[in-house]
Structure 1
Amino acid sequence: MTSALARSTENIVSASAELRGRLVLCSEILDGVTGLIGNTPLVRISSLSEALGIEILGKAEFLNPGGSVKDRVALRMIQDAERQGLLHPRTGSRIFEGTVGSTGISIATIARARAAIIMPDDVAEEKVKALLCLGAEVRRVRPASIVDQKQNMARQAALQFGVEDVAEGIEGMQLSHEIPTGSPSLVTTETLRAQTGERIVDDQDDGPASKPRGFFADQFENKSNFYAHYEGTGPEIWRQTSGKLHAFVSGAGTGGTIGGVGHYIKSMNKDIKVVLADPEGSGLFNKVKYNVMYDRREAEGTKRRHQVDTVVEGIGINRMTNNVSLALPIVDDAFRITDAEAVAMSRYLIKHDGLFLGSSSACNLVACVKLARLLGWKEGQTIVTVLCDSGTRHYSKFWNDDYLRRANIPIDETLIETLLNTP
């Protein structure tokens, strides 16, 4: 009996030692800042879930190291460019992008090459400060029409980088934060020759990867944006819900998130609904509903300063892009979300859930409520959406009551209570 007990004890000790060995091998140490990107938690929005009697879940993308869902896109675009030999960080290459902020911050967070970010002069000031702290070069320009391609400052800067002094080459130009359709997303030496008429020395002249290169990230047209979500965010959502979701709701700025996630979950279950949350001034709502890219604010004599004139930053567009084109075939429905509704949702969530979210996140959650009410869903149904970024990016506008009052945008959380209680 004593001998049997001794053998049993030895077996336990041996098993414990083997288990400890396995634990050592299964390291949970992440590799730098890029290791922190993705695998974000899926959080239950308790107040909305309980009021509606279904599950409303948010993918907490604000927990990425750069603070937004755009970290995934920036990482994939940079990795793909490096794999294709189009970006050489060790030789002083530089990444150029036109953006309203979040993508630029993500690029600057990740880039091993220098980042040059061109953005409209009216975006939230905290985004500019974040970029500067991250070491990016920031150029703020007056918002301009996208119809004149010479105004695309980011592309031109990338084309001319390494050819002549960038500051001289783009002096006085203006940029819309959107990229004209059909633009090349990868800047090559051949493209440089065609655009500048000058001879550019190939890498092979002085050995591989010997010359700095300008890379235009071009998130609107670059399909790396789509694949970041098709191969990353979508599978994560499917795994986290064990495949038990009934709808996915998202806004669209470039179209990458709704397109990538939507295509993946539809490939797993074609009955899952993919629904667009679209802010005021964007044409995507009408494109989904009526196949016409148009918004009433575009009518002659009524168009205001901005192409998509809304306090909601980061989503909404009035033209087709590669990534939007990929997304539209799988979008089942769309909801127009007003500025007042987005503001109301943000205040409702901070009061009831302690969630301090940005404008696009609030917009997405309003659409979740509208979808649930429209379909009359009951217990057991699940809607998943994206919590794109936190409110820390929006102090000066979306979370600034004085700014909202000057813009005649009401701050009334009872709008959400009414929406939740409407049959």
Structure 2
Amino acid sequence: MESLNPGGTGKDRAAWNMIRTAEQQGRLPLPQTGTVIVDNHDLLLHPSLKQRRQQPKQQRYNASSDEDGSTTMETKLDEMIIQAMERSRTGGMVVEGTSGSTGIALATLCACRGHACLVILPDDQAIEKQTILRSLGAVVMQVPTASISNPYHYVNLARKAANLARDEYNVPAVFMDQFENEANFDMHYRTTGPELWRQLAGKIDAFVMSSGTGGTIAGVATFLKQVQPNIRIVLVDPPGSSLYHKVEHGVAYAPQQQERTLRKHRYDTIAEGIGLDRITQNFQLGLDGIDAAIRVSDQEAVDMAHWILTTEGLWIGSSSAMNLVGAIRTALDMPVGSHVVTMICDGGQRHATRFWDPTFIEKWGLQWPQQGCIPECIQSIV
């Protein structure tokens, strides 16, 4: 039940380790405990950043635009950096490109550590995530979805913003880079895996879950395989993601990557925060320990979410629903008495306007479950 973490998801673990690692390495200022917080944020701003802030906002946005729009984008990033740094109590800033959950975890921690938090968010995420981020004090910049090869992909823009703040304004700004930052994998290897092993007294026969950055499944898989090599590790993958074929066939490809059929540049699913069109460093670290992959459809996830709400009283998000489908399908292929573990990544509160909205579901060509609907993976055993 990673949804019960303070920030509401399992991303709290990775966010905590990434921030603490950056502080220990001197890339972020260490919070000063026992001191009075200074209200005059001018004391924390680099002179060139102060000068930019003093310009009328309209003047900041009037910079001429290159043909590719790069000057305009840099001007917008300037504005976001200024807004974020006005909220910093340490003079440091955390920057991340995220589909929401990691940003929320970072924003929660930045609120107590005192760092500014700037989040670059793709525009295909539930509006609830933006609202939460802003409530936590983060500055949010929403951008259109794009391929990772596009310079305007949300991750690439986050990296650019951190570099701009650091190079132009001398701000201790850190791009968290959750997809490639090994502090993500490390946290799950050192804490999540051992917790599961300890709590279940070593009675784990399979671990099943989806992958976003890859840090959780890779870290947990690596630990579990070390203590018990026979544990089966199964990846759950949504439509359009390349990871299924990477695990099953050794090639990172999905049919939806054909430009004619691709709905979204990243992947083709209603699930948020999981599935990917590339192999991240975090996922690569645990790839050898993943034994199999299961493709779960959007309709299966929707049906499972409604079924688990009516049978267990759990209001879950899209990735959690896919995890449950994968866990049940894995369990049905294992001996009676096997112990199968999966993750409830987050709650349905963050998905009310998408995954839990009948109009949205039907626009995607899916069916809103009727009362008494039983997911296909369970029909054979009820």
Rg larger in structure: 1
Question: Conserved in 2, the CA contact under 8 Å of 1:341 and 1:415?
Answer: no
Which residue matches 1:24?
A: none
CA distance in 1, matches of 2:368, 2:288: 36
CA separation of 1:271 and 1:80: change in aligned 2, threshold 3 A? same
Q: State how far apart, in whole Å, the 1-side matches of 2:178 and 2:6 are.
A: 19
Partner of 1:422: 380
Percent identical:
44
- Structure 1 gap ranges (5+): 1-59, 166-199, 201-211
Aligned residue in 2 for 1:155: 159
Residue 258 of structure 2 corresponds to residue 259 of structure 1: no
Counterpart of 2:18 in structure 1 is: 77
* Amino acid of the structure 1 residue aligned with 2:135: C
- Measure, in 1, the Cα distance between the counterparts of 2:294 and 2:367: 20
Q: Which residue of 1 aligns with 2:360?
A: 403
Aligned: 1:64 with 2:5: yes
Cα deviation per residue 1:215-263 (whole Å; 9 max; x = unaligned)? 0000000000001100011000000000011000010011100000011
Q: Give the Cα separation in 1 of the matches to 2:376 and 2:263.
A: 30
Secondary structure at the counterpart of residue 343 of structure 2: strand
Aligned residue in 2 for 1:109: 108
Structural mapping, 1:150-299, within 5 Å: 151=153, 152-164=156-168, 212-299=171-258
Comparing 141-150 with 385-394, which one deviates more in the overlay? Answer: 141-150
1:122 aligns to what? 124
**3-state SS in 1 of match to 2:333:** helix
1:98 and 2:97 aligned: yes
| TM superposition score normalised by structure 2 | 0.80
Letter matched to residue 162 of structure 2: A
TM superposition shift of 1:304: 2.4
Tell me if structure 1 keeps the 8 A contact 2:146–2:152. Answer: no
* CA contact 2:12–2:102 (8 Å) conserved in 1: yes
> Which residues in structure 2 correspond to 1:24-63 (within 5 Å)?
60-63=1-4
1:223 maps to a residue whose letter is E
Deviation at 1:149, TM superposition (A): 4.2
Output the CA distance in 2 between the equivalents of 1:290 and 1:126: 37
Residues 43-90 of structure 1 deviation map (CA, whole Å, 9 limit, x = unaligned): xxxxxxxxxxxxxxxxx0010010000000100000111111111155
Q: Residue 210 of structure 2 contacts residue 274 of structure 2 at CA under 8 Å; is this kept in 1? A: yes
Counterpart contact for 1:280–1:337, Cα < 8 Å: yes
How far 1:416 sits from its partner (Å)? 4.1
Identify which range, 396-405 or 146-155, moves more after superposition: 146-155
Amino acid corresponding to residue 159 of structure 2 in structure 1: R
Q: Distance in 2 between matches of 1:255 and 1:417?
A: 27
> How many residues are treated as equivalent by the alignment?
317
- Corresponding position: 1:359 with 2:318: yes
1:115–1:368: structure 2 CA closer, same or farther, 3 Å change rule?
A: same
Residue deviations 1:112-154 (CA, integer Å, cap 9, x gap): 2110000012210000000000000000011122113465110
Cα offset, 1:420, TM superposition? 1.8
Q: State yes or no: 1:335 paired with 2:294.
A: yes
CA gap 1:117/1:300 in 2 versus in 1, 3 angstroms: closer
CA contact (8 A) 1:340 1:412 kept: no
Specify the SS of the correspondent of 2:342: strand
* C-alpha RMSD of matched pairs (Å): 1.6
- Partner SS, residue 223 of structure 2: helix
Query: 1:27 matched to which residue of 2?
Result: none
* In 1: Cα distance, 2:257 partner to 2:167 partner: 39
Deviation sequence 1:327-367 (CA, Å, 0-9, x none)? 21100011000000000000000000001111111100000
SS at match of 2:377: helix
Measure, in 1, the Cα distance between the counterparts of 2:349 and 2:7. 12
State the secondary structure of the residue aligned to 2:366. coil
1:189 aligns to what? none
1:392 aligns with 2:333: no
What is the CA distance between 1:162 and its match in structure 2? Answer: 4.4
Q: In structure 1, what is the Cα distance between the partners aligned to 2:103 and 2:184?
A: 14
Q: Judge which range, 145-154 or 92-101, deviates more.
A: 145-154
Please, what TM-score do these two structures have when normalized by structure 1? 0.72
Q: CA deviation at 1:163?
A: 3.9
Deviations 1:282-311 (A, max 9, x none): 011111111111111112422223321211
